[in-house]
Amino acid sequence: MGEPLLELRDMTVTYHTGRGPVPAVRGVDLVVDTGQTVGLAGESGCGKSTVALAVLRLLPTTARLGGKVLLNGEDVVAMKWGRLRAVRWASASVVFQGAMHALNPVRPVGEQLAEPILLHGGAGANTVSSRVGDLLEQVGLPARRARAYPHELSGGQRQRVMIAMALACDPQLIIADEPTTALDVMVQAQVLDLVSRLVSELGIGLMMISHDLSVLASTCQRLAVMYAGRIIEQGPARQVLQAPAHPYTKALSAAFPTIGDPESRLAPRGLPGDPPDPSALPPGCPFHPRCPSAFADCVDTDVALRPVDTGRSAACLLEVRP
Amino acid sequence: MIGPVSTALAPDLAPPTTPGGRGGGTVRHLATKLGGAVVSLLMVIVLGFFLFRVLPGDPVKTITRGAPVGPQQLAALRHELGLDKPIAAQFVDYLAQLARGDLGESYQFRVPVSTLIGERIGPTVLLVGVATALAILVGLWLGTRAAWRRGSRFDRISTGVALLLWSAPTFWLGLVLLTVTGNLFPSQGLINPNTPAGFLPQTLDLLHHLTLPCLTLVAVLYAQYLLVMRSSLLEEMNADYLVTAKAKGLRDDLVRRRHAVPNAMLPTVTLIFLNLGLVVSGAVTVETVFSWPGLGLLTYQALQGPDLPLLQGLFVVLAGAVLVMNLIAELLYQVIDPRVRAT
C-alpha cells in the first residue's frame, strides 16, 4: 500500500478568460485511499466540478492546471498525452452529471459501453458484447438494453448506464460528479445504493461530488467542504455533519432538514447572500461577508486549513482563537 | 426501478406490440408525407398555369416574328393553339391533357414538351450533379476544419471567402471566370463537333467543356455547406458527450471523427437533399452564360416566348424534383437519426 490512490497536492486551476485570469481552484489538498469513499461538497461555483474534471485533465483549453495530481503516485499534471490517454478510464473513470447529455444521443448505449473496453484492450471483439451484457446486469439493467438509444431509457436507467460505463475498464477510482442531481428522490436513492454497493463490493475508491450533504452523508466515509476554490473543512463524514467546525459547514448542513426532527423542518435555515465571484474574491477569509460569527480579524487574515481534532481540519479563526 | 419491472413484463407484451406499432407509425408517417407532396404538386400545377398567363408578351407574335402575316393568320394560329378560348376553358383543357400524361407541344420548337425535357435533362443532371458533389465535399471538409479551429486564421479566411463567393451573382462570376481563363476552356456548348469519335476523346472534350460552368456552380454553392457544417459542429463541440469521449481516452481526432462530425452531419444531410431539388432550377444563369444545353437554358429560352406549354412543363418537372428530394430527405433522416425514428 503506502501511497494513496489519489492525492491532490496544492492543486490550482485558473481559467484565462477575456476579462483576465479567474482562479477557480486555489490550492486543494485531498487524499483518497484505495477502497475509500470521499465526498466533496459545496455550492455551485465553488470549484468542485472543476476539481473533478482536472483529475483527468478534461478541462477546456482556457484552464491552467497547477500543483500535483498523484494517481497511484504518478503525476497526472506532468503526464505526456499518450500516457494520459492510457490512464483515462483505465485507472480512473468519471460518472458525469446529467447522463442525458453525457451519452452520445445517436449511438446505442451498448456501443458506447464497448468503446472504452476495445480502446483499452479489455476484451477482444468477440467477447466484448458479453462483457457489455455483464456490465448492464451489474447495474440492474437487462443485457438486451444494449441496443437501446439514450432517449429510449429513463433518467435513472441512463445514470445506471453511465455507472456501468465507468466500471467498464475495472478502474481503481471513480469520480462521480453530481451523479444524482437530475433524478427524482426515489431514483436518486436507488442510484446511490447501487454506487455504494458496487464500490464496496469491488473495492473501488470513490470521489463523490455534490451540493447535497445528505447525498454525501449516506455514501461517503470522509467529507471535504469547499468554498471559493478551497477546502475549508474536512474529516470523517459523520463528525463533520454532526459537529461542524466551520460556520459555512454549519449553514450548509442546517439548510437540509434532518429527517425525524420536526424542529429542523419547521425552521430551515438558509445562508444569506451569494457565493463570491471567483474573479473578485473578498480579502481575508472569503466567507467573512456571509459569516454570522465573523469578527474584526476575519476581514484581513487569510486563514489556512489546520487540524481541529484527530483526522479533522478546518479553516476558521474561531478554532484558533484562545 | 422502472427498468427491471417493465422488462419483466416485456416478454408477454412487448414483442407483438412494439415492432407492429413502430412499423405502422412509419407507414402512416410516410403516407402523410406522400399525401402532402401530392397536394403541393397540384398547387404547383394551378399556380404555374396562371402565373405564366400573367407574363408580358404575346406568344403568337413571337412565333410569327419576322414573317409577313395578316390578322386572319394570327387569329387562325391563336385558334389552333387554343389561346382564343377563355382562361377557365384553357385551364380545363390543360388539366385534361395533364391527366393523360401529356405535357403539350412547345410553341417555338414544335415538338412535344416531354421530348424536349428528356433531351435536356441529361446535361443538367451531369453539370449540377458533379458541381453539387464537389461543393458538398469542399464545403463539409472546410466547414469541419473551420469549426475545429474556431477563430483561427484558417477559419476567418475560409469563411470570409465562402461568403464572398456566395454573395457574388452567378452570371457575373461565370463571365469573370471566362475572361480570366482566356482561351484555356471552351466558352459554350456541351461538346465540340470536330472532336474525333471514340469514348476517350469524347469524354475528355466533355470534361473540358464542363470545367468552367462546374467551377462557377461550386464556387457559389459550397458556402452554404461550409456554414451549416461549421455551425452544426460548433454546437456539437459544446456537448457533454464529447467530454465523456475524451475521458474514455480517445485521441482528439477520434473524438472528432467518431462522435462530433457524424452527429453534426445530421442537419447537413437534410440541407443536401433540399438543395439537390432546388439546384436543378438554380442552374438557369450558369447554363445561359455557358450555353450549356440543359433545363436551365431551356427555361431561359421558354421565357422569351413566352412558350407557355414548355414553361408549364418545366415548372412541373422542377417543382417535382424539389418535392421528391424533400421526401428523400425526410426518409433518410428517419434512417440515420434514431431520435426522429422514435417520435
Q: What is the pLDDT of residue B15?
A: 37
Q: Give the pLDDT confidence of A194-220 residue by residue, as tens digits.
A: 888 888 888 899 999 998 888 888 889
Q: Are A61 and A13 in contact (CB under 8 A)?
A: no
Query: CB under 8 Å to B268, separation ≥6 — which residues?
Result: B140, B225, B228, B229, B232
From A89, A115, A140, residue closest to B1, measured CB to CB: A140
Contact B243 A53 (CB under 8 A): yes
Q: Give the pLDDT confidence of A288-311 residue by residue, as tens digits.
A: 888 888 888 888 888 888 888 888
- CB contacts of B246 in chain A (<8 Å) are 58, 88
Q: How far apart are the first and last CA of chain B?
A: 24
Q: A254: helix, coil or strand? A: helix
Q: Give the pLDDT confidence of A141-184 residue by residue, as tens digits.
A: 999 999 999 989 988 899 889 999 999 998 999 999 988 877 78
Region B79-86 average pLDDT: 81
Q: What is the pLDDT of residue B1?
A: 34
Q: What is the pLDDT of residue A278?
A: 84
Of B131, B82, B106, B180, residue with least CA distance to B282: B131
From A106, A141, A190, residue closest to B338, measured CB to CB: A106
Q: What is the pLDDT of residue B8?
A: 37
- Of B237-241, B268-272, B275-279, B309-313, the one with minimum mean pLDDT is B275-279
Question: Touching check for B253 and chain A: CB below 8 Å?
Answer: no
Rounded Cα–Cα distance for residues B149 and B306 (Å): 51
The residue type found at B125 is: V
Q: What is the pLDDT of residue A321?
A: 61
**For residue B195, what pLDDT band results from cuts at 50, 70 and 90?**
confident
Contact A156 B245 (CB under 8 A): no
Q: B25: helix, coil or strand? A: helix
Q: Where are the domains of chain B?
A: 117-342
How many residue pairs from chains A and B have C-beta atoms closer than 8 A? 87
Of B139, B178, B125, residue with least CA distance to B269: B139
Q: Give the count of beta carbons closer than 10 Å to the beta carbon of residue B203.
A: 12
Rounded Cα–Cα distance for residues A32 and A47 (Å): 18
**For residue A259, what pLDDT band results from cuts at 50, 70 and 90?**
low
Q: Which of the 8 DSSP states describes residue A299? A: G
Vertex B113: Cα angle to B108 and B119 (nearest 5): 100
Cα separations in angstroms, A47 against A229, A241, A297, B125: 5, 21, 26, 58
Q: What is the pLDDT of residue B21?
A: 43
The grid coordinates of residue B323 equal: 418535392
**For residue B143, what pLDDT band results from cuts at 50, 70 and 90?**
very high
Q: What is the pLDDT of residue A262?
A: 62
Region A60-78 average pLDDT: 91
Contact B244 A102 (CB under 8 A): yes
- Of A66-70, B133-137, B196-200, B293-297, the one with minimum mean pLDDT is B196-200
**For residue A264, what pLDDT band results from cuts at 50, 70 and 90?**
low
Q: What is the pLDDT of residue B67?
A: 73
Rounded Cα–Cα distance for residues B14 and B17 (Å): 5
pLDDT at position A257 over 70: no
Rounded Cα–Cα distance for residues B46 and B39 (Å): 11
Q: What is the pLDDT of residue B342?
A: 58
CA A9 from chain centre, in angstroms, equals 16
- pTM comes to 0.75
The residue type found at B332 is: L
Q: A219: helix, coil or strand? A: helix
Q: How far does the CA of residue A280 sit from the closest CA of chain B (Å)?
A: 27
pLDDT at position B29 over 80: no
pLDDT at position B3 over 50: no
Q: Which residues 73-102 of B are in CB contact (within 8 Å) with A?
A: none
Q: Give the pLDDT confidence of A124-133 residue by residue, as tens digits.
A: 777 888 999 9
pLDDT at position B146 over 50: yes
Q: What is the pLDDT of residue B230?
A: 92
Residue of higher predicted confidence among B182 and B294: B294
- CB contacts of B264 in chain A (<8 Å) are none
Q: What is the pLDDT of residue A115?
A: 92
Q: How far does the CA of residue A61 sit from the closest CA of chain B (Å)?
A: 12
- Host H or E run for residue A75: strand A74-75
Region B316-320 average pLDDT: 87
DSSP lists the bridge partners of residue A174 as A93, A206
Region A77-83 average pLDDT: 91
Q: Which residues 4-33 of B are in CB contact (within 8 Å) with A?
A: 4, 7
Contact A105 B241 (CB under 8 A): yes
Q: Give the pLDDT confidence of A9-63 residue by residue, as tens digits.
A: 999 999 998 888 899 999 999 999 988 999 999 888 888 889 999 999 999 888 9
CATH ID of B117-342, from 3.40.30.10, 1.10.1040.10, 1.10.357.140, 1.10.3720.10 = 1.10.3720.10
The grid coordinates of residue B126 equal: 451531369
Structural domains of chain A sorted by starting position, each given as residue range(s) with its CATH number in brackets: 6-91+171-320 (3.40.50.300)
Q: Which span out of A146-155, A182-191, B83-92 was modeled with the highest average pLDDT?
A: A146-155
Region B38-67 average pLDDT: 82
Query: CB under 8 Å to A274, separation ≥6 — which residues?
Result: none
DSSP strand pairing (A173-177 vs A92-95): parallel
The residue type found at B219 is: A
Q: A7: helix, coil or strand? A: strand
Q: How far does the CA of residue B266 sit from the closest CA of chain A (Å)?
A: 10
Question: Touching check for B244 and chain A: CB below 8 Å?
Answer: yes
Rounded Cα–Cα distance for residues B252 and B242 (Å): 10
Contact A119 B2 (CB under 8 A): no
Share of chain A above pLDDT 90, in %: 38
Contact B338 A149 (CB under 8 A): yes
Share of chain B above pLDDT 90, in %: 12
Contact A149 B342 (CB under 8 A): yes
The residue type found at A72 is: N
Q: What is the pLDDT of residue A199?
A: 86
Q: Are A154 and A132 in contact (CB under 8 A)?
A: no
Residue of higher predicted confidence among B168 and B29: B168
Question: Touching check for B235 and chain A: CB below 8 Å?
Answer: no
HEC secondary structure over B101-147: CCCCECCCCCCEHHHHHHHHHHHHHHHHHHHHHHHHHHHHHHHHHHH
